[in-house]
Amino acid sequence: MRCSSVCKGRFRLFRRLTLGFAVMAMASGVTIASDSKNALNDPKMQQAIALFRSIKWQDGPGTGQLGTIAEIKIPEDYRFTGQDGAKKWSELNQNIPTNAEMGVLMPIDKSGWYIVFTYHDSGHVADDEKGSLDAAAIFESLRQGNDAANQERRQRGWAPLDLVGWQVPPAYDEATHNLVWALRVRGEGEEAINYNTKILGRTGVMSANLVVSPEKFEGAIAPGKRLLAGYQFTAGSRYAEWKPGEKIAEYGLTGLITGGLVVAAAKSGLLAKLGILIAKFAKVIIIGVLALGAGIAKFFRSIFGGGRARSRL
């Protein structure tokens, strides 16, 4: 049977996104719309499915190890993969894997959201700005960086992305040392929300990034917060255990939001030498991650035809 124009459109969308949830659905034997089954025969799809199946998942209840730096409780009905699996999940979602990936945690029922953990040994981040975070000024800085990133995206033939505004303005919890914010992003007629939690440690920062589509945001935020309540740094890595003379980050709380790499480069003089390219590069990565939530929702709305998915897992 020839693939209809609708099917071709769906398949083009899939090939552009190659998102982990879509691969998970097909690899797990989920019933999909009949005119989309041709996608299974594509070599790139087969490679993606093989990559997904190579990920080792740990089902809860239990404890997931985020490298040697921290751990997270895995409740019943959730699953977790550690550093190796997180790198593969990143690749499935068209992000370049790095050594920063620590783990991925998600509901077993494939609710359409997940939390990815990454750790950066950036140094101890001082929380001096805890009472003076300027949401308007921070957003303007992000917007300017995004304008530069869109120029780069157009040169690469990628669609531009727009920052819509704060879903949750930046806020710092002094008790947990968590910095939280959420941005709404729009691209190709779709919106996404990226809910960010930066957990400050002794000599670095753990990022817990909740990726979710806008329509699923309200349903994901409460369980996401409950999951992070089960997070803890290992002994010796906690924020309060920092000692004078140990490594200090070149930026503070605002820098964590606007891009610590760029802030540090500017302070060191490296940014002046490299020009705007480093800023473009950093923002392209940041905004690329922000775009994932919209892609997940868009793909599932098209490929499953609105019906209830049946999994044979």
Give percent of the chain with pLDDT exceeding 90. Answer: 39
Residue 124 is classified by DSSP as B
The per-residue pLDDT for 21 is: 62
* pLDDT value for 234: 96
Determine contact, residues 291/164, Cβ cutoff 8 Å: no
- Residue 109 CA neighbour count, 13 Å, CB half: 5
pLDDT computed for residue 287 by the predictor: 37
DSSP 185-245: EEETTEEEEEEEEEEEBSSSEEEEEEEE-HHHHHHHHHHHHHHHTTEEEPTT-BGGG--TT
Average of per-residue pLDDT values in the chain:
74
How far apart CA 221 and CA 228 sit, in angstroms, is 11
More confident residue, 153 or 220: 220
Span 208-230, average pLDDT: 87
| Entry pTM | 0.72
Percent of the chain with pLDDT over 70: 68
Higher pLDDT, 142 or 153: 142
pLDDT band at 261 (very low <50, low <70, confident <90, very high): very low
Nearest-angstrom CA–CA distance, 33 and 90: 26
User: Quick check: 87 and 15 in contact, CB under 8 A?
Assistant: no
Number of other residues whose CB lies within 10 A of the CB of residue 206: 25
Least confident interval from 6-15, 132-141, 180-189, 240-249:
6-15
Domain ranges of the chain: 114-294
Q: Which pLDDT value is given to residue 192? A: 75
Class at the top of the CATH hierarchy for domain 114-294: alpha beta
CA 32/CA 25 separation, integer angstroms: 9
pLDDT-derived band at 236 (thresholds 50, 70, 90) equals very high
Give the integer Cα–Cα distance in Å for 112 and 297.
7
Q: Of 236, 215, 212, 235, nearest to 225 (Cα)?
A: 212
The contacts of residue 196 (CB under 8 Å, 6+ apart) are: 179, 180, 181, 182, 183, 207, 208, 209, 210, 257
Average pLDDT on 127-139 reads 92
Specify the higher pLDDT residue, 71 or 51: 71
Residue among 190, 187, 230, 185 nearest 61 (CA): 230
- Residue 66: burial class (beta carbons within 10 Å; 0-12, 13-18, 19+): buried
* Each residue's pLDDT tens digit, 21-32: 666 655 555 444
